[in-house]
Structure 1
Amino acid sequence: MNEKQGFSVNGYIVVFIILSIAPFALINISHSPVWFFLLIADLACLIGLFMVQPNQGRVLTLFGSYAGTIKTPGLRWTIPFYIRKNMSLRLRNFESSRIKVNDAHGNPIEIATVVVWSVKDTYDASFEVDDYAMFVNIQSEAALRNMSSCYPYDQQDSQETSLRSDPEIVSEALKTQIQERLNKAGIHIHEARISHLAYAPEIASAMLQRQQASAIIAARQKIVDGAVGMVDMALTQLSQREIVELDEERKAAMVSNLLVVLCSERNTQPVVNAGSLY
């Protein structure tokens, strides 16, 4: 069964009718017992009045059966026999605790998430699960554990999606997994994002050293690529402008010297040749 519209009418109209009938019933109650019963029924109708706040719903049940949901805000009136359960339809935040899991490469990591959710179907939220708020918490953490094992913490190559480098892709995957688990509870997931991500303490130091080594290698590779390009440009321009002619041995020496100057971590101390080139 899905959510359906429950029976209700404008409560202000009912209040006006009740207040209009009550004085006549009090005046004529001594003349006829019918007015007495009419007054009792008139006052009993007050039990059917209730207030619905914005982004709030009232789930109606009658003798254990679902009778519908009222979402129209304001003063409403319904059959007094209905039991009315209040349910918030507003956005809620859930922040999971930090949990330890293994990523796709088997590295232990700590991860947490923030989930923004709201009730979409009041029938499912009321009758399909015992406590829908607790259901959201447990299923969100379960989805986070499952999603974390599908991606590595960091990229091993440029084509690989990782938890640290691709937050948008990972957030969308997490949102999809949580939504699949919560459809049966009538919950809609608006957003799911990772709020904490780190290596587990026992391997954090080693992984930091690996990251530093990878950064150094990448920087060195870029420096070498740039240096080779500059050497090639220098030799090409010297040849095209016919500034000087170099044999293969002199070219090799020049290339070696330029690469040392361009790739060195410290400032080099050049030796100026004041004599002839050869």
Structure 2
Amino acid sequence: MSTTTSHTPESEGPSRPARLIQNESTTEIPVHLLFRDEPDPVSVPLRPAVVGRRQGTGEQPRFRRPVPAKPSPVPKVDPALVERPARVLPGSAGVLAGACGMAGCLATSWWAGALPPLVVEALGLPSSAAAGLGPVQWAAYAGAGALGLFGFGGLARGRTGRAWVLGLFGRYRGTVRRTGLMWVNPMLLRRRIDVRLRHWRSEPMPAADASGVALRAVVLVVWRVRDTARAMLGIEDHETYLRACVEVALARVPVELPGSGRGATAGEALTRLVAADAAPVGIEVFSVHPLRVEYAPEVAAAMHRRRIAALDAQHRASVLTSVVDSVEDTVTRLTMRGLVELDDYERKALVKDLTVAFCAGRGDASA
């Protein structure tokens, strides 16, 4: 009798357990045992563990990484467009240069003999040699005339609250904020800009409340030009740009009608947004507050009827509450003082009659 014994080969390891779910997907997670004496493992960047959906079960993924929102781009300003003081001279220097040019022209005319005798006698000049108008005289005329034009042509008057933005061949050369008489290079292009504290009252602009109802808002903006170079050269028209910033802010911030108690919050939000948008172009905004808020023409009639209905319902509710309180107080006093003894039927009838009487009285009083 032979017995057959089956031996498992030593090279084969223990058999892997069968999967309980045939279509499940698994993820291997490496585990590092602290008590094992091994060299430091190489750090491998791991992706976030995301369990995919199981085929045929309709199960959704358990984890999804949210996509971060991209920040709004910040407008970049040319580093060269930063306000800096321009080089100017006192006005006396221009007056002196112009006077020297005029004196040079007069002396050249006397030298060439072109002055009338009456002028010579009035000025007390000696009789000239009458050298005539030669090349030397013409050169002297040109030099003296250029000096006179250059001196008088560069005179400018600076005013308080105004500034000059200077440019030469399309390049920014500085800003003049000085007041009084001064001399500016006449070759420079001058652009006057107002740097005073200013306020702007807008016309009705489109807006919306927290519920999305169309409104029209009139806002008051208090602002001034802080950097003249950016305001004048960075954009085409800084006042138009400020208006556009206000319109964008009204489209983003909900505005409430007067009496809601949220006007201050809307004003702070509008000021913050407009100031952030206008700062890169050299405009400093101090406050943006709604002055008048009303419904847009297309929804004004419907919202007016809705508001009247809400006020009427509120009035009716207040009248009914007052009538019920009066009836309850009357019935309670009558029963507590022992003036009447009422059963349930009589109590209901009395409450009904009192309610009708009080409602009729309130209706006559309101009419």
The 5 A counterparts of 1:86-235 are 86-90=192-196, 91=198, 93=200, 95-96=202-203, 98-99=205-206, 103-107=209-213, 109-116=214-221, 117-147=223-253, 150=254, 162-164=256-258, 165=260, 166-189=262-285, 190-193=287-290, 195=292, 197-201=294-298, 203-234=299-330
1: distance between equivalents of 2:303 and 2:332? 43
> Does 2:92 correspond to 1:18?
no
Whichever residue aligns with residue 198 of structure 1, its letter is Y
Does the 8 A contact of 1:125 with 1:132 survive in 2? Answer: yes
Query: 1:50 Cα deviation (Å)?
Result: 1.5
Question: 1:156 matched to which residue of 2?
Answer: none
Identity %: 22
Does the residue aligned with 1:183 lie in a helix, a strand or coil?
helix
> Does 2:339 correspond to 1:244?
yes
Shift of the 24–206 alpha-carbon distance from structure 1 to 2, 3 Å rule, reads: closer
Does the 8 A contact of 2:83 with 2:228 survive in 1? Answer: yes
Query: 1:77 Cα deviation (Å)?
Result: 1.6
Shift of the 40–127 alpha-carbon distance from structure 1 to 2, 3 Å rule, reads: closer
Query: 1:194 Cα deviation (Å)?
Result: 5.2
Counting strand residues as a fraction of each chain, which structure ranks higher?
Answer: 1
1: distance between equivalents of 2:358 and 2:93? 89
Does the 8 A contact of 2:102 with 2:144 survive in 1? Answer: no
Shift of the 122–244 alpha-carbon distance from structure 1 to 2, 3 Å rule, reads: same
Shift of the 228–43 alpha-carbon distance from structure 1 to 2, 3 Å rule, reads: same
Question: 2:162 matched to which residue of 1?
Answer: 56
> Does 2:342 correspond to 1:263?
no
Q: TM-score, normalised by structure 2?
A: 0.55
Whichever residue aligns with residue 8 of structure 1, its letter is V
Query: 1:58 Cα deviation (Å)?
Result: 0.6
Query: 1:217 Cα deviation (Å)?
Result: 1.6
Q: TM-score, normalised by structure 1?
A: 0.69
Does the residue aligned with 1:266 lie in a helix, a strand or coil?
helix
Query: 1:49 Cα deviation (Å)?
Result: 1.3
* Structure of larger gyration radius: 2
Does the residue aligned with 2:84 lie in a helix, a strand or coil?
coil
| Deviations, residues 157-216 of structure 1 (Å, cap 9, x unaligned) | xxxxx3443444334433332222222222233544254521452x44443332222111
Which of 145, 152, 168 is 1:46 aligned to?
A: 152
Question: 1:5 matched to which residue of 2?
Answer: 85
Question: 2:185 matched to which residue of 1?
Answer: 79
Whichever residue aligns with residue 211 of structure 1, its letter is R
Q: Which 5+ residue runs of structure 1 have no aligned equivalent?
A: 152-161, 269-278
Range moving further from structure 2, 124-133 or 173-182? 173-182
Shift of the 213–135 alpha-carbon distance from structure 1 to 2, 3 Å rule, reads: same
Number of residue pairs matched by the alignment = 251
Does the residue aligned with 1:75 lie in a helix, a strand or coil?
strand
Larger RCO (CA within 8 A; separation ≥ 6): 1
Does the 8 A contact of 1:96 with 1:137 survive in 2? Answer: no
| Deviations, residues 224-271 of structure 1 (Å, cap 9, x unaligned) | 33334444554566577x473554645555444443333345349xxx
Query: 1:136 Cα deviation (Å)?
Result: 2.3
Shift of the 227–175 alpha-carbon distance from structure 1 to 2, 3 Å rule, reads: same
Shift of the 261–183 alpha-carbon distance from structure 1 to 2, 3 Å rule, reads: farther
Whichever residue aligns with residue 95 of structure 1, its letter is S
Over aligned residues, Cα RMSD in angstroms? Answer: 3.8
Counting helix residues as a fraction of each chain, which structure ranks higher?
Answer: 1
Does the 8 A contact of 1:163 with 1:170 survive in 2? Answer: no
Question: 1:276 matched to which residue of 2?
Answer: none
Shift of the 83–229 alpha-carbon distance from structure 1 to 2, 3 Å rule, reads: same
Whichever residue aligns with residue 133 of structure 1, its letter is E
